[in-house]
A and B are shown apart, each in its own frame.
Chain A
């Protein structure tokens, strides 16, 4: 009885403008570029995909369901640059077939650097979703599906979530299948949903690849793969970036057609159905405990943190950023706090990745900079300036002063 559980990640970073060491204003973000990209992606993906899913939900009378995680920085940009996308999300929320997940409002790596900041951002995001869609998120996903045991424990301790989502990485599962609900190591109530990366990536990455033996992928073929899970799994978790529909896989690849026919194909088999993550959690008991002592993510083949923290520039930039937390929060200025938090968006660190730079691949596609070095320089100039804004009105201008070192150790277990 496999249930198909779709969750789409929807996010757009706020890109920085070119900011040199000689700049001294506090306009850090490139509104023009951000607006243009937001509108472009809205037209290619968000609008057509939302409309299609609305139609499908309507057509299948409540039997087709999906979930979204919309980042706070995306919501802010949609509000300013593409309000019509927001209204289609409202319409989706009104169908009752759409679940919204919780994450850090700023799509940040804060869990690794400051538990306090992490919890504040999660709460901020939950509030935003409640306010916009009248729905309280019960399932949590962390930025880039970054996960370990400690995260699950913290999420359980927050007391407001039923489940958490992460990558169904081979090295945490061993021979086990991602198609069951699990229990995070050490948790009592919280359940764990794992991405079926093989079937998810068939859609997200391989769909348009003509060298792939399964090309072209049809809804009927995909239904067979889903149905094959029957007898050895309860749920097929298809987690991917929403931009897969129309932006990563362009319309002319047939991706919308594929999605359009998928529900009817899947539902042809009476054993199959669609469930939202919360319904999956309510329907199935955990099969087993899963122990994840080390950090994992859904990125690259390594499934680790190296895309954000793999070189000295990245770790320096992020350490310096979180070192500022105390000062930023002491100054108590909403604008400074908001700028500081927007600098936490994980994409800023992704742009600094040198891992595949020489080969120029997927990393490059999403990168507004010519090189990881340019992105680091730009980020550090902005951060330097933000720092001067924190120190000017309050006591002590010395940089080495407050909080040096103790907030910056990643992944220490506090309480």
Chain B
């Protein structure tokens, strides 16, 4: 089956996450970029994602997803003018980047909120809807799989494609029911998220998904290696498809030359163990030993945010480090415009889309060697995440030497244009077609 102007004709049942403007991290960005590009290739996609029925709840960690949107915001989903994509939502509180703990806290909050509303208002019919969601997260994942099967009965498709572990059981179930081939797409693994403190249940779900899949797509060779060595998946089943980057079209250089006397070094991402925030702060401390006119901005939220604030204070650099909380949309663009340098000190990063966005915004990048994106970027500075001395050395060099910044920016910006979602989508279609060609 070949691809032509009319499209490949492949129909995909896609189990994904998050669509703009509710993107909380790289997983959402990837699902969106890939699906949009598939739409342009003429691939028919049924995009299935979880959506919480309740909208008026509060959480500790403010993650934005369709689940937390108002009905008006949700409408936005259908307004992407994706002519080959139909969106289906399943009522569920599952969210990208949730952990069993965060999930529980969130359900707890929802319950409390509902309880309060019920106490204040009229008690009755709407009792405890949260209990409908099968208790703990794992049960919810199984329930989600059942709902996906129901949904799949009325859909026409050739391939099932599931993104990251929470949707694997749904993918497995739908594939088993319909006899269609299953592709699981690994954007991160439990080892990336938790280091060696692996959650066994999560690991088992991941492993089963990979085992039952006909093809496993990973976002880098780095992740492919993990999938083979840690999950025992046979190498010939695993394909690498690098992420792309969304070009932001209307960029004006004039905006970039905001004059100010302080340099700005940016960390942008979730502030979690995986992202290495403490290495960023230790490097900042070293930089400030030899340079004065620098500010470090940590844009993002996450479970290590407060610890990071404390650490900055402990290191005596509190006044030099700014925490902005979670940024989105225009704020992200603004912070990129102000930044002289983007640093991604990730401890384990399957891919890492943010550096591509930084380059696309003309910000040079330092990335950890422990990231998938370092496989595709040549024109970036690279360090081992633990080597804070070298990280600081490189930060100082970029801030001090404009020719370095200029060369990195020019070459990097050029390089990043070659990483297109269209190519990623095409690679996925190639993988589907391998499965669909009768042997």
Contact = CB atoms under 8 A, between A and B. Distances in A.
A104 interface: no
Given A22-B286, A371-B382, A373-B381, A315 B403 contact: yes
A204 interface: no
Interface in A330-373: 354, 357-358, 370-373
Contact of B397 (A315, A358, A377): A377
Given A22-B290, A376-B401, A312 B382 contact: no
22 contacts: A20-B389, A21-B397, A22-B286, A22-B290, A311-B403, A312-B406, A312-B407, A313-B404, A313-B407, A354-B379, A354-B411, A358-B378, A358-B379, A358-B415, A373-B407, A376-B403, A376-B407, A377-B381, A377-B401, A377-B404, A380-B397, A381-B393
Given A311-B407, A357-B378, 5 more contacts: A313-B403, A317-B403, A371-B382, A373-B408, A377-B397
A21 B290 contact: yes
A239 B87 CA distance: 68
Contacts, number: 65
Contacts of B415: 358
B407 A22 contact: no
B140 interface: no
A373 B395 CA distance: 12
B347 interface: no
Interface in A223-280: none
Contacts of B390: 20
A198 interface: no
Nearest to A359: B378
A320 to B, nearest CB: 9
A61 interface: no
A357 B394 CA distance: 19
A283 interface: no
A380 B393 contact: no
Interface string B392-419: 1110110011011011100100010000
A22 B389 contact: yes
B403 A316 contact: yes
Nearest to A20: B393
Given A21-B393, A376-B401, A381-B397, A370 B407 contact: no
A316 B406 CA distance: 11
Contacts of B286: 22
A48 to B, nearest CB: 37
B373 to A, nearest CB: 15
A381 B393 CA distance: 9
A22 B406 CA distance: 24
A370 B378 CA distance: 10
Given A22-B286, A22-B389, A358-B415, A380 B378 contact: no
B353 to A, nearest CB: 20
A185 to B, nearest CB: 34
A167 B164 CA distance: 59
Contacts of A21: 290, 392-393, 396-397
Contacts of B408: 373
B401 A380 contact: yes
Given A22-B286, A354-B411, A371-B378, A376 B389 contact: no
A381 B406 CA distance: 18
Contacts of B401: 313, 316, 376-377, 380
Most buried by B among A315, A357, A372: A372
Interface string B277-303: 000000000100110000000000000
Interface residues of B, number: 23
Contact of A22 (B379, B381, B392): B392
A249 to B, nearest CB: 28
A316 B405 CA distance: 12
Nearest to B406: A312
Nearest to B291: A21
A79 B176 CA distance: 74
A381 to B, nearest CB: 7
Given A21-B396, A380-B397, A312 B403 contact: yes
Contacts of A22: 286, 289-290, 389, 392-393
A22 B404 CA distance: 19
Nearest to B394: A377
Interface string A16-60: 000011100000000000000000000000000000000000000
A373 B404 contact: yes
Contacts of B379: 354, 357-358, 373
A381 B290 CA distance: 12
Nearest to B287: A21
A371 B406 CA distance: 16
Interface in A267-324: 311-313, 315-317
A317 B394 CA distance: 16
Nearest to B378: A358
A400 to B, nearest CB: 15
A317 B404 CA distance: 10
Nearest 8 CB-CB pairs, A to B? A312-B403, A316-B403, A20-B393, A377-B397, A21-B396, A313-B403, A312-B406, A313-B407
A358 B376 CA distance: 10
Contacts of A372: 407
Contacts of A317: 403
A369 to B, nearest CB: 11
Contacts of B381: 371, 373-374, 377
B128 to A, nearest CB: 58
Contacts of A381: 393, 397
Contacts of B392: 20-22
Nearest to B383: A374
Interface in B107-148: none
A381 B392 CA distance: 13
Nearest to A373: B381
Contacts of B382: 370-371
A313 B415 CA distance: 18
B2 to A, nearest CB: 30
Contacts of B407: 311-313, 354, 372-373, 376
Contacts of B394: 377
Contact of A376 (B290, B393, B396, B404): B404
Contacts of B404: 313, 373, 376-377, 380
Interface string A100-137: 00000000000000000000000000000000000000
Nearest to A360: B378
Nearest to A19: B393
B117 to A, nearest CB: 57
Contacts of B406: 312
B358 to A, nearest CB: 16
B340 to A, nearest CB: 15
A315 B404 CA distance: 11
B289 to A, nearest CB: 8
